[in-house]
Amino acid sequence: MHIGKPVFAFSLLLGGMMLLSCGGEAKSLDSATQSEDILYVITNGTVTTYSVDAASLAVSAVEQPVTLIPVTASLIQFDPSPSDQFVYTVWLDGQNLQHLSVFQTDSSGVPQLPAIQVLNADFLSQFNMHPSGRFAYMLEVTNTQDEYSADIRLFHTQLDEGTLKEDPQIQGSYGPAYYWPAFLYGFSIDGTKLYDTSMIATDSIYRERPINRKTGTLGNDTEILSVDSGEEVVIGKLIIAQYQNDTSVNLSYTDILPDTPNPQAMIHCTVTMLRFCVTASNIQLDRSGHYLFFTDPATQAVHVAAIDLPGSKIVDTNNKMPMTSQTPGFAFSPDEKIVYALLAGDGSVHFYHFDEYTGSLSEGGAPLAVVAGSGICPAQHN
């Protein structure tokens, strides 16, 4: 998961209705189950399901597009369950009332109508499905006298049915704050921690809460790090902090830190080590923690760089793909063997094999033309 500096004008989805319409991006903890790669293309509230051949990267549409919400409604978030047996949507109706709907998928991953559950989700946002598929978390935000407060709400999932049941116990509270009180950031790779972040004066604080894997309940917040308004942070197996200020006086850098509270930088990358550490923006970290994807406007490309911890350096692998239509504009399959990218050059989805051992990107299949403004959401159907 990635989030930059929290902005004052909050949108209900992390990053708003961005190119990638996935919300929590939950990845299953069970890697032994056979699965089929799926790509959802979301245009307004209509979803088209594509089957992706993992070897050739050829795609084929499965059945007809499905319209999940009323035409007068606005889709805010679209989340497949880790097994893709169900999809969860957060949407706003014509009366500005928010809802959370659950849809079952068929054997090909196509969402089926009607919804098997529709919940009132007013004041709730940031749906995050746990990688186990057993729990989900949302943030309930209230505004009193121009100050915001927020509670973390826990939902239990009926695994065979996909339906949600809200836990009466509040899992954490934030605020009151003049700015938005907190953002749910996502989960640790092993699913044992939930990350959150909030703005304190001119800084952003990143924290973690332990997750009880049996009950889904959360422990107390522990601060990981504090960064100022010029930094963006990515948390995965490692923590990536990027500060961009004035490249002419070499005040920009990218730091690699351990995923622990109060971390100290293990790598400090300036322009003398790798130019992308300074010129790129919106860095993404692969799940293995070995590679960084630098979106670099200066070269109009997304570059893959290797993290060399023993050598205390970041090294260009010389693998890249063309600039995407948005930033970041690409998404990994849940097992991170495929990269889906909406390229700026033709506005189509392109498909790349990604090798986590070498960092190589190799394009395959034929580009998929999509309607302008569409979102993409990869999944793996078990």
Where residue 54 falls (left for φ over 0; alpha for ψ -120 to 50; beta otherwise) is: alpha
Q: What is the pLDDT of residues 86-101, one digit of tens each?
A: 999 999 999 999 999 9
Average pLDDT, the chain: 89
260-286 mean pLDDT: 93
Q: Would you say residue 16 has pLDDT above 70?
A: no
Type of residue found at 123 = F
pLDDT reading at 149 higher than 60: yes
Query: Among residues of the chain, what percentage have pLDDT more than 90?
Result: 77
Mean pLDDT across the stretch 309-330?
94
Helices (H), the chain: 276-279
So what's the pLDDT on residue 12? 31
What is 188-248 written as a DSSP string? -TTSSEEEEEEEETTEEEEEEEEB-TTT--B---EEEEEEETTEEEEESSEEEEEE-S-GG
pLDDT exceeds 60 at position 230: yes
Backbone angles phi, psi at 21, to 5 degrees: -85, -5
> What mean pLDDT do residues 65-92 have?
95
The residues, ordered by sequence, that sit 6+ positions from 358 with a Cβ below 8 Å of its Cβ are: 317
Token pair, residue 123, equals: 């004041």
What pTM value is reported for the model? 0.91
Q: Fill in the DSSP letter of residue 34.
A: -
The pLDDT of residue 245: 74
Across residues 139-150, what is the average pLDDT? 91
Q: Is the pLDDT of residue 314 over 60?
A: yes
**pLDDT over threshold 60, residue 58:** yes
**At residue 361, does pLDDT exceed 60?**
yes
Least confident of 224-228, 265-269, 302-306, 347-351: 224-228
Whether 21 shows a pLDDT value over 50: the answer reads yes
More confident residue, 6 or 345: 345
Amino acid at 317: T
Domains observed in the chain: 1-229 (2.120.10), 230-374 (2.130.10.10)
Q: Do residues 210 and 192 lie in contact, with contact meaning Cβ atoms separated by under 8 Å? A: yes
Confidence of residue 244 (pLDDT cuts 50, 70, 90): confident
Is 41:349 a contact under the CB 8 Å cutoff? yes
Write out the two tokens for 322.
């063309």
State pLDDT tens for residues 281-301. 889 999 999 999 999 999 999
Tokens 């934030």 belong to residue: 174
* Whether the predicted pLDDT of 26 surpasses 60: no
